[in-house]
């Protein structure tokens, strides 16, 4: 490359660097009056803690159900534990639509085969197929980790990390504030 052209390019770059660094054109971004974001807006934790075993009020389900005949009827009508459980899951208002009758430590597939807690997304996929598809493709839910599999690869959170399976609709939450706008590029009234 011609040394003169190179010198002109370098000089122009240096001049622009000084102009932007010293902000001789405008009044600066003016972000001093904008409050910092609340820490909870950038908290990496999920909304709910993902259980590793089936518990009810802290006790393993098997502690009461192990060795019993397969459950029949509606558990909410049977005893002192389950009637207090609130179930607001759309048209799904029966425990055994999800829970396995013979083994309360598992969930149930349509054919009666068990679905393990570790594969809970397969349970949700029974009724929420389009959301499951979006979750599989990364458009729903949360991804953490790395895109580079050599660094550990991506980690996908399961449905119950965010949604309460008995009451999956989120209760209203305060939204994070809008992004900051540079006042030099903002038009009046916008």
pLDDT digits (tens, 9 = 90+) for 124-157: 999 999 999 999 998 998 888 888 889 888 888 8
Q: Report the percentage of the chain scoring pLDDT > 70.
A: 81
Buried (b) or exposed (e) across 9-46, using 16+ Cβ within 10 A? eeeeeeeeeeeeeeeeeeeeeeeeeeeeeeeeeeeeee
**pLDDT in the model for residue 24:** 62
Q: For residue range 13-48, what is the model confidence (pLDDT) as tens digits? A: 988 888 777 766 665 555 556 667 777 777 777 777
**pLDDT in the model for residue 109:** 92
Task: Give residue limits of the domains in the chain.
Answer: 45-161
Query: Measuring CA to CA, how many Å separate 100 from each of 70, 71, 142, 170?
Result: 9, 9, 27, 26
pTM attached to this predicted model: 0.64
Q: Which of 15-19, 75-79, 85-89, 106-110 has the highest mean pLDDT?
A: 106-110
Confidence of residue 178 (pLDDT cuts 50, 70, 90): confident
Burial class (CB in 10 A: 0-12, 13-18, 19+), 65: buried
């Amino acid at each position: 490359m011609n040394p003169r052209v190179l010198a002109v390019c370098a000089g122009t770059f240096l001049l622009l660097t000084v102009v932007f660094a010293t902000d001789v054109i405008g009044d600066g971004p003016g972000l001093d009056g904008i409050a910092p974001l609340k820490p909870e807006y950038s908290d990496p934790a999920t909304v709910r803690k993902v259980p590793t075993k089936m518990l009810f009020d802290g006790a393993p389900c098997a502690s009461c159900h192990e060795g019993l005949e397969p459950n029949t009827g509606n558990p909410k009508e049977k005893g002192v534990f389950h009637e207090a459980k609130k179930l607001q899951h759309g048209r799904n208002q029966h425990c055994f639509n999800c829970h396995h009758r013979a083994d309360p430590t598992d969930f149930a597939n349509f054919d009666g085969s068990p679905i393990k807690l570790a594969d809970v997304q397969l349970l949700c996929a029974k009724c929420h197929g389009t959301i499951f598809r979006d979750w599989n493709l990364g458009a729903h839910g949360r991804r953490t980790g790395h895109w580079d599999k050599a660094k550990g690869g991506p980690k996908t959170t399961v449905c119950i990390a965010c949604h309460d399976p008995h009451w999956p609709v989120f209760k209203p939450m305060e939204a994070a504030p809008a992004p900051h706008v540079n006042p030099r590029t903002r038009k009046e009234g916008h």
